[in-house]
Amino acid sequence: MTEVGAGVDQRHEGEGGELLEVRGLTKTFGALKACDAIDLSIGKGEIHALLGENGAGKSTLVKMLFGALEPAAGEIRWKRRVVAIQSPGEARRLGIGMVFQHFSLFEALTAAENIMLALDDTTPILQVAERARELSKAYGLPLDPFAHVGDLSVGERQRIEIIRCLLQKPDLIILDEPTSVLTPQEADRLFETLETLRDEGKSILYISHRLEEVKRLCDRATVLRHGRVVSHCDPRRETAASLARMMVGDEVDTVKRVGSVDASGQSLLEVKGLSRPAANPFAVSLREISLSVRAGEVVGIAGVAGNGQGELFEALSGEALQDKAGAIRVRGTDAGRLGISGRRLLGAAFVPEERLGHGAAPQMRLSENLFLSRHVTDAGAFVGALGTVRSGALANAAARIVEAMDVRKGGEDPEASALSGGNLQKFIIGRELDRQPAVMIVNQPTWGVDAGAAARIRQALIDLARSGSAVLVISQDLDELFEICDSVAVMHDGRLSAPVPIAEATFEKIGLLMGGATPERAEPPEKAETA
């Protein structure tokens, strides 16, 4: 290791003068090696990508770098000195800042209070607010210091995180999947900010599984798979396909969209003028939502998180009832006043966003979870004469679903929480598909699911539609919607746009709608974005 003075050569390549050097870093959880002898080095003024599938060990690795987890083995060298980072506070003192994927903000506090908590000095709150405002102007990240975080959009929350991180004057900034919650336009603005920071000599560790943005932004990349480093490479010299191969290992099946939609198909899900006031201060009210999903069709609903998608799902699934029975019709029957089971009996099926605690009871076995969602619709099969549970039939059905969706699990009938996110999601989707529902409504079908499982789920949804069902997919992942949908509508601030046929949809067009533009006047949505 040659000692080269850092600072002069800001964008240096290769060896020497590294800001951060990690060797043989290992972390085990029980039998699982989440990180296995990871090597990583980051130079000054470099944007370094950390690539990998969900569960590849990225988050575990950065948590060790940030002092939130303790490594089982290996060493971390920071500015050429071996350090043991015991706590996030210590990481911050060393000059390592982090912007979390699931934000570490306090919703009941204001932006300025949130920022103040992360600063070690005892600056008065008004000065903190002023400094935050200056910094936010300098980096083009508009921010109101006195707004309560609970009232802000995800993009705005991320800005607070970034400003908070910058106020600590870190040398290394770790960003964990920063664009997963942003509109394409918001992401562009973030990239500009990051490039400015790099030009100022800051180093950035950029965690992502979006290959295009890594190729665009990053100087070097480290690819993880199953907790091991697969490759150190220059993402600019790689193709998206070659990076994907490194991440996933073998080629992932691409989703095939077969056949076209029969335009005369009968409308199986009909929503007319659906409005719903916000149930609590942090919820979004739904305004005059209308949509229709025909047999054979997959309709997508795009939108930045927190624009009413969750509220719409609750209204559609029957967790929240409507005042007018006709606001929601399933297969021609008014369903607005029916509860979840009533709507299921009409042939609808629902998969909520949250897998554990909403889609499945974490501490119950798979077969029990199957029973929970289908004891009404399949009472004949699963419930005995005296109201007893027919466990044999349940076990058979569970096995059939596991087989059909390729759910990988340990044990015969494990608890839902014992499955990985992707496998549990496959089971939950499979549980509904197994009924051959006429109407399928899914919220975030592949959130936090690895590529293999995601492809399988998407294909299953397309196949269901092509077999004559109506499928509605709510998702924040535009790639996913473009891959499987026949048309895409966009939610913004509780309103739903008219659907855009997939042939006419572009990322830019949908992105503008996500920012609040109307289709007629698709101007850059400066104002709506900060609203």
Partner 1 sequence: MLESVLVTIATAATPLLIAAIGELVVERSGVLNLGVEGMMVMGAVTGFGIAITTGSPWLGVFAAILVGAAFALLFGFLTLTLVTNQVATGLALTLLGLGVSGMIGEAFIGLPGVKMAPWVIPGLSDLPVVGRFLFAQAPLFYVSILLVIGVGYFLFRTRAGLTLRSVGDNHDSAHALGIRVIGVRYAAVLFGGACAGLAGAYLSLVYTPQWIENMTAGRGWIALALVVFASWRPWRVLAGAYLFGAVSIGQLHAQVIGVSVPSQLLSALPYLATIAVLVLISRNRRLTMVNTPACLGRPFVPAR
Cβ-contact 279, 307 below 8 angstroms: no
**Interatomic CA distance for residues 258 and 456, integer angstroms:** 15
| Least distance in angstroms from the C-beta of 15 to partner 1 | 33
Task: Report the site for partner 1 in 73-92 (rule: CB under 8 A).
Answer: 87-90, 92
Minimum CB separation of residue 174 from partner 1 in Å reads 12
| Closest by Cα among 460, 468, 463 to 296 | 468
Q: Within 273-332, which residues bind partner 1 (CB under 8 A)?
A: 279-282
| Residue 104 touching partner 1 (CB under 8 A) | yes
Site string for partner 1, 412-431 (x = CB under 8 A): --------------------
Measured from the CB atom, the residue of 126 and 240 that comes closer to partner 1 is 126
- The distance of closest approach from Cβ of residue 117 to partner 1 in the complex, given in angstroms and rounded to an integer, is 5
Which residue lies nearer to partner 1 by CB, 72 or 376? 72
And the tokens for 348?
């609808």
Alpha carbons 391 and 413: distance in angstroms, whole number: 12
Give me the least distance between CB of 108 and partner 1, in Å please: 5
Of residues 117 through 146, those in contact with partner 1 by CB under 8 A are 117-118, 122
| Interface map 49-68 toward partner 1 (x if CB under 8 A) | -----------------x-x
Of positions 20, 49, 105, 462, contacts partner 1 by CB under 8 A: 105
Q: Quote the CA–CA distance of 422 and 411 in Å, as a whole number.
A: 17
Binding positions for partner 1, 252-281, rule CB under 8 A: 279-281
Question: Angle of helix 154-167 relative to helix 184-199, nearest 10 degrees?
Answer: 10
Quote the CA–CA distance of 360 and 415 in Å, as a whole number.
10
Closest to partner 1 by CB, 363 or 436: 363
Shortest CB 49 distance to partner 1, Å = 23
CA-nearest of 488, 481, 501 to 255 is 481
Structure tokens at 186: 């918001």
- Which of the residues 432 through 491 are near partner 1 (CB under 8 A)? none
Q: Single out the residue of 15, 39, 70, 262 in contact with partner 1 (rule: CB under 8 A).
A: 70
Complex with partner 1: residue 59 or 322, whichever CB lies closer: 59
Closest approach, Cβ 84 to partner 1, in A, equals 13
Tokens 């509109």 identify what position?
A: 183
CA torsion, points 302, 305, 307, 310, in degrees to nearest 10? 90
Distance, in Å, from the CA atom of 316 to the CA atom of 311, rounded to the nearest integer, reads: 9
Output the CA torsion sign for 87, 90, 94, 96. Answer: positive
Which member of 4, 83, 109, 233 binds partner 1 (CB under 8 A)? 109
- Return the closest-CA partner of residue 43 out of 203, 235, 238: 203
Are 421 and 54 spatial neighbours (Cβ–Cβ below 8 Å)? yes
CA–CA separation, 241 and 259 (whole Å): 26
**Interacting residues with partner 1 (CB under 8 A):** 66, 68-70, 87-90, 92, 98, 100, 103-109, 113, 116-118, 122, 148, 150, 279-282
